[in-house]
Amino acid sequence: MILEAHFRQLIRVPFQRCEEAFDLFFGGAHNPLRHLGALGLFLLWIIVGSGLYLYIALDTGVAQVYSSIGALSEEQWYFGGILRSLHRYASDGFVLAMGLHLVREFAYGRYTGFRFYSWLTGVPLIWLAFASGIGGYWIVWDQLAQFSAIATTELLDWLPIFSEPSARNFLAPDSINDRFFTLLVFIHLGLPILLLAALWAHVHRISRVDHLPSRRLMGGTAATLLLLALAKPATSDAPANLAAVAAETRLDWFILFLHPLTDLTSPGTVWTLLFGATALLCALPFLAKRTRQPVAVVDPANCNGCTRCQADCPYAAVTMAPHPTRAGYQVAVVDDALCASCGICAGACPSSTPFRSQQTLLTGIDLPQLPVDALRAELEAKLAALAGETRVLVFGCAHGAHAGRLAAADTAVIELVCAGMLPPSFVEYALRTGADGVLVASCRESGCDYRLGERWTIERLSRRREPQLRGRIPAERLAAAFVSANDDGALAAALAAFRNRLRSLPAAGEKLQPYLRRTAHHA
C-alpha cells in the first residue's frame, strides 16, 4: 500500500511539527496533542457531570421542556446556565479531540499488529458520540432542534428500515407528545453509558492508561471552557413550531455538520460517505502491509518471576504463570498478539546485566532481533575502538533523532529499538570499560512510539524505578537528551555541550578507580 504510506506521511509531517511547536509552550507532559485520548475522556466526564444536573432540572413535558431549559440560562445563569454552556462546549471539544486522536493514530501508522484491537474498537465510538450529540440538541426543542430532527429523520428515511417515513412525526404540532421526550432523554443518557463501555473495550489491552491528563492540562482545559461559557453562553433559539418551517438557526458545525452536507448533496451520498469511511477505517489494518518483528522470548531458566517486565510492558503483553520447574515461583509469559517488540521488558529484567560472567549472556526475557548478549558484544567492540581525549558513548532510539550520524573516532553510537530497552547496568559497564561519559537519547517527553519508553528510561537512570542505576555512578558523567526524529541538530548540540562538560572533569579512570577496586570481583 504505497499510496496509504505516502498519504500517512503527508499528514504525519505537519502533525508532528505542530506537536513539537506545542511542546515549546506546554511541555510534553501537558501538550494536548500528545494526550488527546486522556483529554477526550476528561471532556467526557465534564459532559456527564454537567448533563446529570441538566437532567435533574429538565421537565420532559412537551410544553415545558423548552422553558425548563431556557430557565437555566436566564434565571440561573450563574450555575445552571454555566453548566449548560460547559455541556455544550465540552461536547464540541470531545468531538474535536476524538477527530484529532483518529488522525494522529493514522498518521503514525498505529492501527496494525498489536494495535489492531484498539483501532477497531475505536471505530464504533465515532458513531456513538455523534448519535448522542445529535440527540442532545433535540432535547432543547427549539428551532435548531426542529431543523435537526427533520433533517435526521429524512436522512434515516433513505434507509429501508422503517415501514413508514419517520419524518412524518414532525409534520404537525400534535404529532409530538411527552413520551417522545421521555424516550429521547432515555436514549441520550443510555448512549453515553454505551460510550463509556466502548471506551473500556478500546483501552483494556493497554497497561497504565492515561485515564486523565495532567492537572495543568485539566485546569487549562476547564478554564478555557469556563471562559467560553461566560463569554458566549449557550442559549436556545426560538421555540420549535412544527406548523412552520424553522427559521435560520445557529448551527453547531462540530456535531451537526451532516445536515448542511445532506442539503448540498443527497441522503444517498451522505450514507455512502459514512458507510464508506467506516468500512475504510475497519479495513485499514488489513490493507496495510507491515513486517512483523519477532516478539520477546522468555527463558524460564533465567526468569526469577520478579514481575518487573509485567509492570513495565506498555501493552499488557506479559503475564505471570507458575514456573514449570521451580515450585512456588512464577515465570513470565508473552502474548504474541499483544507484544510490540519494543524490548522494554528486556530493559526491566534484572538479569539483563553485562557484568554477568557468562560467555553467552542469557536473560530472563529478551528481544530476538537485538538480544542483550549481542548488545554487550557491540558495546565492548565500539568502546575498544574509541579514541581521543573525551570518549563518549551514545545510546540512541530508532524512533528518535538519528544518533548514528554522530559517530566519530571519539563517539560511539549504539541504536536501540526503544530507549526503554536499555538496562541501566549498561551505563555503568560503559563507564567502567573506557567511556568518559554516556549520553542516552530517547524520544521527547510523552512522545515515545511505545508510550512508556522514555518515561521508564529516565526513571531508571534517576534511580526512581527498578532496575535502577547504582548510586555510586557519578551523575556528571551521564546525560539524557529528549529528541524526536526532527531534532538531529538538538541532539548534536546536546552532545557538544556534554563533551564540554566532561572536559572540565577529572579523567574517568581517576573518578571511578576506588569504585572499580571495590566491585571488580563481581565482573
- As a whole number of angstroms, the distance between CA 30 and CA 61 comes to 44
Per-residue pLDDT tens, the chain, 523 aa: give them: 566 777 888 898 899 999 999 999 999 999 999 999 999 999 999 999 999 999 888 888 887 888 988 888 888 888 999 999 999 999 999 999 999 999 999 999 899 888 989 999 999 999 999 999 999 999 999 999 999 999 999 999 999 887 778 877 787 777 788 888 888 888 888 888 899 899 999 998 888 888 899 999 999 999 999 999 999 999 999 888 888 877 677 889 999 999 999 999 999 999 999 999 999 999 999 887 777 789 999 999 999 999 999 999 999 999 999 999 888 899 999 999 899 999 999 999 999 999 988 788 999 999 999 999 999 999 999 999 999 889 999 999 999 999 999 999 999 999 999 999 999 999 999 999 889 999 999 999 999 999 999 999 999 999 999 998 887 788 899 999 999 999 999 999 999 999 999 998 876 554 444 333 333 323 2
Q: Which residues contact 390 (CB under 8 A, 6 or more apart)?
A: 410, 436, 437, 499, 502, 503
Closest CA to 126 of 95, 88, 87: 95
Q: Are strands 365-366 and 437-442 parallel, antiparallel or unpaired?
A: unpaired
Q: Residue 372 — φ and ψ, nearest 5°?
A: -60, -35
Q: Provide, for the chain, the percentages of residues in helix, strand and coil under a 3-state DSSP scheme, each rounded to the nearest 5.
A: 60, 10, 35
Total-model pTM: 0.90
| Domains defined for the chain, CATH in brackets | 2-287 (1.20.810.10), 297-522 (no CATH)
Closest CA to 22 of 14, 12, 30, 11: 30
- As a whole number of angstroms, the distance between CA 152 and CA 167 comes to 8
